[in-house]
Structures are given as structure tokens and as C-alpha cells.
């Protein structure tokens, strides 16, 4: 009798349930689309009950629609959006907050206040001095510490400042109120309140874990008034997360929890990958030692297995797929995202037009600027096709900025990059990315690599798959894109792009 690995993949825009077979193929799937709560500027929240209800629904659907029971499922793997959090009471089940997502920007002014406080200025200065003496990476990391809304710790502190009653309640060491990321909330519900835990990949993305000691960061917790007794237990990425009795009339072991980008990296079984979805996430495995970029990229944990920790560096461009949505919904230049590929391929170039893809998030690594997005080079000869193509090229230029910055800082040589995510279905994007990077781009044949990575992790834990070597045999590449652009043309285009960046940086304070 065939058995399967069940996977729950909770993204920001979709909640998906999957069954994977022994060949790593999707046997069945279901999905739901949760709503956003956007009542004020900068607010991006989700309803915890809806997230749990939809998670339960997709798991039930893939089992019941295929007449499967618990005995047909070897294990469950869970992958979730990172850095989103909530508060709830594990005894009364009262929910004290919505899920404050990683996209929420309301704490921006608070971030500046904390970053420029005397304590953190002193900490950065002292750490810089100690780094010059000791050359320890830990000191280098602390010397660059500047908070922004990406930090879950900061957004948690901001939430508590604006909810003083909750802030007071959680001071009690005996409180039943707890804090958790999305994976923690889902796990707690799956185990019917028995397990309050997370894994290292998720917690390393919150800014609340010290990556060098693998313990809760006491400085961050104190700065944001977060008591350690409300936090979840941290477990290895692959292992025992309890069991669930909610599906299929029996017990199913939960054997992996992993953050979405780390899960995609594991599924690709490569040293570097780029996921192009709502944003672009460029991840490079750096080995068993945490690496610190001198241009303010902090080490993240890829996963921790059998007391062995794998680290990565990650650069993020917050605007990619949402740029395509923008040119469709606001500029009305295309009728659907797929049309952007046809329009870009219908012309030979952008006719001198450049599109800087950023909204309120500004430009991240390596520029760290709050500049606005821009469209340059428009003339009376500019057609909508030129703007659409420029937008797609802009997504690729930003990936090149980040990839080259990471490689320059780490000195780790990269020969090729694996690419996945919704925007990676656009063939023009993949070819131009290969051209502008000057390297091979491998496109994954699996459209759901985030779910696949979680399934691989869970399946390995129970022997469904025996080793990573076996998984390599299941790895499928849709197509390898090779550079077709000359080195001279590549340098010329990128030089123009860098000039566009320098001009755009002047708009930071407008």
C-alpha cells in the first residue's frame, strides 16, 4: 500500500495542503486564500482563527478527497511564513492579538527611536571596539545592529508598548499567556494545546535568537520587554514535534517545522537559491559557522539537525511579484501576469527605460535606503511594452545587486543559482537574469519547492526517504538558462543601472 508525507505550507497569501509520494511528486493538494486586515496605514495583519481554520481545512481536504486515513500518512511537515507573530492564552484559548505579519510597517518610527537610543549607540560603539581587539564575528554583528520593521522583536515590543495591559499581564512568571510565530500557533492547535514550540530556522528570523550561542537574545528581550517565560521551546528542525489526532482517525507524527525560505533552499539541494515571489529572497549557505556581512546582513539558521547547525546569509528585495501586480492593477498595462512575458519578448530592449522596483520598503541590501521607486528614461517613443519590460528587468537588476553584494562580502564563489517562486514561471525573467548575472540559472521543475522542502525534512525523520543522496535523485530541473548577453553589453547595462540607483538615492527624504 502506498503511503505519503503530508505537508502544510502557510504562506502570506495562500495556505496549502499537499500529499507527496515516494518520488517526491505531488499526489494531491488543496488551498485556501486568507484575508488581510488593513485598517490603518502600514497595518498588515491576519486573523489567527482563520489561519488555523484554513490550515485544518486543506489537510482534511487532501485526505478525505482521496479516501485516506492516518495510517496512510508517514509524517507531517510544516512550512510557514517567517517573522509573523501573535499572543494567546494557552489555558483559556483567548487570543490577545491578530497575527502581526512580517509586512507590517507601523513600527517604523519606533525602530528609529530604538536604534538611535543611547543604549544601542553605546552597544554598537563598544562592540566595534571589541571587534577591533578580538576580531570575533559576534562583536562585528553587534556593532552593526540597527532595527527596522523586519525584526519580529521590534514589532513585538511596539505591540506591547501600545497594549500596556497585556504588557503588565505577561510579567507574571505563572501567566498562561504565550507568544509564538505562525508555526508555533499552528503546532499548538494541531497538538490540541500539548506543544508550544518552534524550530531554529523560524526563530532565527525573528531577531530574538543569538545565532552564535543558539539561545534567546537577552539584550533584545530586555530592550523590548519580552519575558522569556512566554516564549516557545526551540527544537531542531527535523525531529519530534508531537502528534496530531485531528485527521484520518488516528495519530500522525509531526516531524519537521521549517521556515519558508529555508525550506525552499533545502528542497533545491543547492548552495544558493533565489525565490522570486512577492519579493525576491536570495539565500546562500555559508556552512556550520555563522557569517556576518560587513554591509549589515545578519546570519540566519538554515536548519539544525542532529545537533549540527547550518547557516545562511539572505538578501531580500521586497518588491518583485507585487511590481507585476502593480503594473496590472494600477497602471493597467497588462491584463494578467502571464502577459508581461509576451510583451517583454515582443521588443528587443526597453528603449532606454529603467524601472526601479520599490515601494514603501525602500531599497534593502546593499544600499539600505528608504528611496521611492522610479521610472527613468521615458520619451514620446516609449510604449507600454518598454515599461513592462523595464519592470521585469528591474526585478533582475535588484537580484544582481544582492547576489553580487553577498558574494563580495563572503568571498564564496557561486557558479550557478537555482530559481523558484511564482515569478520564475516567466521565461523572459529567467533568461534576462542569466544574462545580467553572467551565470547559469536553473529553474526548478517543482512549482512548490517550499512545501517540498518541508516534506523532505519530515520524510527523512521517519525513514520515508533514507538520505539526502536519495533526494538528489528526485531533484528535477525544468530548464537551465545560459547567458546570451556579451560581457560588454552586460557591463554597460549594469553601469547604467548603478547610475539610476545613485540618482534615486537622492529621493530618500522626499
* CA atoms of 205 and 234, how far apart (whole Å): 13
DSSP string across 146-188: ---TT-HHHHHHHHHHT-HHHHHHTTSTT--EEEEEHHHHHHH
pLDDT per residue, tens digit, the chain (510 aa), is 799 999 999 998 899 999 999 999 999 999 999 999 998 988 999 999 999 999 999 999 999 999 999 999 999 999 999 999 999 999 999 999 999 999 899 998 999 899 888 888 887 888 888 888 888 877 877 777 788 888 999 999 999 999 999 999 999 999 999 999 999 999 999 999 999 999 999 999 999 999 889 999 999 999 999 999 999 999 999 999 999 999 999 999 999 999 999 999 999 888 899 999 888 999 999 999 888 887 888 899 999 999 999 999 999 998 999 999 999 999 999 999 999 999 999 999 999 999 999 986 788 889 988 888 899 999 999 999 999 999 999 999 999 999 999 999 888 888 899 999 989 999 999 999 999 999 999 998 888 999 999 999 999 999 999 999 999 999 889 999 999 999 999 999 999 999 999 988 877 655
Range of the domain at 380: 317-444+476-507
* CA atoms of 254 and 59, how far apart (whole Å): 13
Quote the pTM value: 0.91
In order of 21, 76, 142, 157, the CA distances from 459 in angstroms are 10, 8, 37, 37
- The x, y and z cell numbers of residue 333, run together, are 498595462
C-alpha radius of gyration, the chain, whole number = 23
- The x, y and z cell numbers of residue 221, run together, are 528581550
Residues 181 and 245 grouped into a single domain: yes
Residues 207 and 134 grouped into a single domain: no
Number of domains in the chain: 3
Q: Specify the 3-state DSSP secondary structure of 203.
A: helix
End-to-end CA distance of the chain: 64
Place of cell 490603518: 40
Residues 345 and 256 grouped into a single domain: no
Residues 153 and 142 grouped into a single domain: no
- The answer to whether position 305 is within a domain reads no
Question: CA 446, 451, 454, 456: dihedral to nearest 10 degrees?
Answer: -30
What residues contact 322, with CB distance under 8 A and at least 6 apart?
Answer: 278, 279, 359
Contacts of residues 214-220 at CB distance under 8 Å and 24 or more positions apart, as own/partner, are 214/301, 214/304, 214/309, 217/153, 219/123, 220/153
Instruction: Give the CATH number of the domain where residue 405 resides.
Output: 3.30.420.40
* CA atoms of 390 and 333, how far apart (whole Å): 12
Residues 21 and 62 grouped into a single domain: yes
- The answer to whether position 216 is within a domain reads yes
* CA atoms of 387 and 396, how far apart (whole Å): 14
- The answer to whether position 72 is within a domain reads yes
DSSP string across 410-423: H-----EEEEESGG
Q: What is the largest CA-CA distance in the chain?
A: 69
Q: Are 123 and 141 in contact (CB under 8 A)?
A: no
Amino acid at each position: 500500500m502506498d503511503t505519503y508525507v503530508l505537508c502544510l505550507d502557510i504562506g502570506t497569501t495562500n495556505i496549502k495542503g499537499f500529499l507527496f509520494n515516494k518520488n517526491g511528486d505531488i499526489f494531491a493538494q488543496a488551498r485556501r486564500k486568507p484575508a488581510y486586515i488593513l485598517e490603518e496605514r502600514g497595518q498588515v495583519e491576519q486573523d489567527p482563527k482563520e489561519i488555523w481554520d484554513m490550515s485544518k481545512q486543506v489537510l482534511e481536504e487532501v485526505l478525505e478527497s482521496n479516501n485516506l486515513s492516518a495510517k496512510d500518512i508517514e509524517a507531517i511537515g510544516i512550512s510557514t511564513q517567517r517573522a509573523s507573530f501573535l499572543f494567546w492564552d494557552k489555558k483559556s484559548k483567548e487570543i490577545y492579538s491578530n497575527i502581526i505579519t512580517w509586512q507590517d510597517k507601523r513600527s517604523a518610527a519606533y525602530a528609529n527611536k530604538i536604534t538611535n537610543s543611547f543604549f544601542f549607540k553605546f552597544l554598537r560603539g563598544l562592540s566595534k571596539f571589541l571587534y577591533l581587539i578580538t576580531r570575533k564575528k559576534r562583536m562585528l554583528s553587534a556593532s552593526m545592529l540597527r532595527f527596522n520593521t523586519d525584526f519580529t522583536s521590534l514589532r513585538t515590543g511596539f505591540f506591547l508598548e501600545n497594549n500596556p495591559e497585556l504588557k503588565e499581564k505577561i510579567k507574571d512568571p505563572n501567566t498562561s499567556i504565550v507568544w509564538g510565530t505562525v508555526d508555533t500557533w499552528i503546532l499548538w492547535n494541531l497538538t490540541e494545546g500539548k506543544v508550544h514550540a518552534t524550530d531554529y530556522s523560524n526563530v532565527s528570523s525573528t531577531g530574538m535568537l543569538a545565532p552564535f550561542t543558539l539561545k534567546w537574545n537577552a539584550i533584545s528581550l530586555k530592550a523590548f520587554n519580552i519575558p522569556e517565560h512566554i516564549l516557545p521551546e526551540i527544537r531542531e528542525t527535523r525531529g519530534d514535534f508531537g502528534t496530531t489526532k485531528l485527521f484520518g482517525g488516528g495519530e500522525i507524527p509531526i516531524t519537521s517545522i521549517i521556515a519558508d525560505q529555508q525550506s525552499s533552499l533545502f528542497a533545491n539541494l543547492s548552495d544558493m537559491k533565489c525565490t522570486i515571489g512577492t519579493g525576491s529572497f536570495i539565500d546562500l549557505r555559508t556552512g556550520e559557522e555563522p557569517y556576518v556581512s560587513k554591509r549589515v546582513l545578519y546570519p540566519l539558521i538554515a536548519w539544525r539537525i542532529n545537533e549540527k547547525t547550518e547557516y545562511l546569509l539572505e538578501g531580500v528585495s521586497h518588491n518583485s511579484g507585487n511590481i507585476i501586480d502593480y503594473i496590472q492593477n494600477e497602471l493597467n498595462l497588462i491584463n494578467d501576469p502571464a502577459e508581461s512575458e509576451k510583451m517583454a519578448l515582443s521588443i528587443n530592449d526597453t528603449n532606454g527605460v529603467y524601472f526601479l522596483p520599490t515601494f514603501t520598503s525602500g531599497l534593502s541590501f546593499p544600499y539600505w535606503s528608504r528611496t521611492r521607486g522610479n521610472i527613468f528614461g521615458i520619451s514620446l517613443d516609449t510604449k507600454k511594452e518598454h515599461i513592462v519590460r523595464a519592470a521585469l528587468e528591474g526585478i533582475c537588476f535588484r537580484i544582481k545587486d544582492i547576489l553580487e553584494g553577498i558574494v563580495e562580502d563572503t568571498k564564496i564563489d557561486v557558479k550557478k543559482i537555482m530559481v523558484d517562486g511564482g515569478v520564475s514561471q516567466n521565461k523572459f525573467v529567467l533568461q534576462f537574469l542569466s544574462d545580467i548575472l553572467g551565470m547559469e540559472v536553473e529553474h526548478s521543475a517543482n512549482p512548490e519547492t517550499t512545501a517540498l522542502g518541508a516534506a523532505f525534512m519530515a520524510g527523512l525523520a521517519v525513514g520515508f526517504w533514507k538520505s539526502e543522496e536519495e533526494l538528489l535523485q528526485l531533484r528535477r530541473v525544468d530548464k537551465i538558462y545560459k547567458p546570451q548577453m556579451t560581457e560588454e553589453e552586460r557591463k554597460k547595462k549594469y553601469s547604467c543601472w548603478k547610475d539610476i540607483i545613485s540618482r534615486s538615492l537622492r529621493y530618500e527624504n522626499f
